[in-house]
Amino acid sequence: MGFNMLNADHVAGMGQNSLEPQRVNNFTLIIGLTGQGISGDARLLQLAIDSFKIPAESNSPIMIPYGNEVRKVAGVAKWENVTCNVKDFVDKDILGSIMSWFNVVYDVRTGIVNHSFVYKRQGLLVAYGPDGRQSRTFNLYGLWPTQVDPGGGDMASNTNNMITMTLRADKCISNL
């Protein structure tokens, strides 16, 4: 039985060959926070993560002019910074865990910037299908916080506080 491109029977349909959408709310992000100078519960941070964007990858071309033409070849691969939103809880020190990691990068009290092996961590983003089975993973290497926004206050709001942190990854490898 083939696909009829004029209707949507193949999208979330009844047959086994139908296309099931990947839901963006079926994920977890695991960051290995244990290490030198970092305190906090990585499992609690994993559970508190509200949103995370997979780092976009790009490859800038190397231009090779020759005569009246230009040829392009693959150049340097790089990954964009990503924003991670984390739910703030008062009974568990989520902000303290994040700040502990952030302060290992640069200690404002001493002015020391640590070696990268001290603050860089590995992360794992796992996306799940609607049945709870793992559908894809993304390994994040050399992950570290470059900015932390602890949130704020708003007397007119009845939502929970969100901590926003910008993370940098050296590379992201998908296991699709």
Which residue reads 């559970």 in tokens? Answer: 47
Return phi, psi of residue 113, to 5°: -100, 125
- Check residue 75 and give its pLDDT: 96
pLDDT digits (tens, 9 = 90+) for 100-129: 999 999 999 999 999 999 999 999 999 998
pTM (two decimals):
0.82
Return phi, psi of residue 20, to 5°: -100, 125
Domain segments of the chain as ranges: 27-57+68-175
The residue ranking higher by pLDDT, 141 or 36, is: 141
- Check residue 43 and give its pLDDT: 81
Q: Looking at the domain 27-57+68-175, which fold is it? A: Pnp Oxidase; Chain A (2.30.110)
